[in-house]
Amino acid sequence: MYRLALNMLFGDRAKLAMLLCGLAFSALLMAQQSSVFFGIMSWTYTPMVNIRAQVWVSDPMVEQVNDAKPLRDTDLGRVRSVDGVAWAAPLHTSFVQARMQDGNFKLITLVGIDADTFAGAPAVLSQGRIEDLRLPDTVIVDEWGAALMGRMGVGPDGKPRNTPLQVGDTFEINDIQARIVGICRVKRAFTGGPFVYTTYDRAKGYTLGARRTLSFMLVEPQKGVAPAELCDRIERDTGLKAWTSDTVIWNWGERSLARNTFWWFWTNTGIPFSFGTAVLLGLFVGIAISGQTFYSFVLENLKYFAAIKAMGAGMGVIARMLFVQAFTAGLIGFGLGAGMAQAIGRVMIEKGMPPFVMYPQILWATFALVLGISFVSAVIGIVKVSRVDAASVFRG
């Protein structure tokens, strides 16, 4: 009977198309909006991705990576003395205004790294050398920032240059010259500002008047010491807060600063509500369109279901037929919707806006919700058919 159930479904192409449209649109909306949401949320802990270290140490009151509470420089020595620490390097992060050639200002994320070890340096340089940061007044700018700030540059003719900044170009931070010696490739940040790397000591100069400039400490455990274990030791011996660099937000057990940052934004901003509303909208639209269309499909076939009942099919068989029809439509609708979400995601990733991260969990959740929509649709149909009297087939 299931084969016939499928033939009944595929035989009514107009209804099937409508049903698939509803389910696919619903799956698309849920998967795409969730992926953009997780993409945006992944930007919140971008510094954890761009500045690589196994253990981060911060002030105990720090809740997330974008909100550093400066430490004393002497804390660095205390951390270095903890058993299991191979090395510890200072890190400065702050948001400062950079003045461009055309006179405009741009908010940047200034990252000051240790000039001796270059701990926390960007992994990929598309232009220049990291060692050149040891030269006076030098910085490394990320590719996206170079393009953005390039549009604010002025050419030799005095007109906007509209080309990305290059090695050798300059701008100012707090009236101090910053000469570009490298262009790096890093992940973009939630704050939208370009990443500008310099040395820790020069960063002190760029942030005039700041009494404390040590935002974090980057720590490498000795061989054989697990990062989480070292975090415990640092906290116990120094009273500071130590974090692992794990950026898998599903990893509930880790002491991850990235995960804390993710959940800080989750609970303290309206982002989840906004995207959650869109996902719920997708769910409701799916239930409304698919449920209504499937109900109309059942209504249209009601007399045939009544005839099948009269011929001796129990409600169990008919219910299974309806489930097969609804779940098959759900499966195809999910495939279409998820496929479209993937295609849109590819375009987004190429353009870099908006961010798009489609975790497998998003696909599984969307799949479950689409099947839920199919289930609801089938149950609505089953209730209708169960109320049909088999004797009604004799009433013309």
Partner 1 sequence: MSHLAHTVAVRASGVDMFFGTPENRVVALKQAGFEARRGELIMLVGPSGCGKTTLLSVIAGTLTPQAGAVEVFGQRLDGLGQEALTTFRRKNLGFVFQSFNLIPTLTVAENVMVPLLIQGRPFDEAHERALAIIEKVGLKGREEGRPNALSGGQQQRVAIARALVHEPPLLICDEPTSALDKDTGAQIMQMVRDLSRSPERCVVVVTHDHRIFRFADRIAEMEDGRISRVVDDPKLLDTTHL
Interface with partner 1 (CB under 8 A):
1, 3-4, 7-12, 301, 303-304, 307-314, 317, 389-391, 393-396
Distance CA 338, CA 295 (A): 24
- In this structure, how many other beta carbons lie within 10 angstroms of the beta carbon of residue 251? 12
The stretches of the chain forming alpha helices (DSSP H) are 2-11, 13-44, 46-50, 74-80, 143-150, 200-206, 227-238, 257-268, 271-300, 302-310, 315-351, 360-386
Q: Give the residue with the Cβ less far from partner 1, 8 or 348.
A: 8
Sign for the CA dihedral angle at 236, 241, 245, 248 comes to: positive
Q: How far is the CB of 390 from partner 1 (least distance, A)?
A: 4
**What is the closest distance, in whole angstroms, from the C-beta atom of residue 382 to partner 1 in the complex?**
16
Task: Find the shortest distance in angstroms from Cβ 392 to partner 1.
Answer: 9
- For partner 1, the closer CB: 9 or 230: 9
When the beta carbons of 311 and 347 are compared against partner 1, the nearer one is 311
Q: Tell me how far apart the alpha carbons of residues 9 and 325 are, in angstroms, rounded to a whole number.
A: 6
Q: Which is nearer to partner 1, 10 or 105 (CB)?
A: 10
The C-alpha atoms of residue 190 and residue 192 are separated, in whole angstroms, by: 5
Q: For residue 69, what are the contacts with CB-CB under 8 A and spacing of at least 6?
A: 58, 59, 61, 62
Please, what is the minimum distance in Å from the beta carbon of residue 20 to partner 1?
Answer: 16
Contact 69, 58 (CB under 8 A): yes
Q: How far is the CB of 42 from partner 1 (least distance, A)?
A: 47
Give whichever of 301 and 374 is closer to partner 1, judged by the CB atom.
301
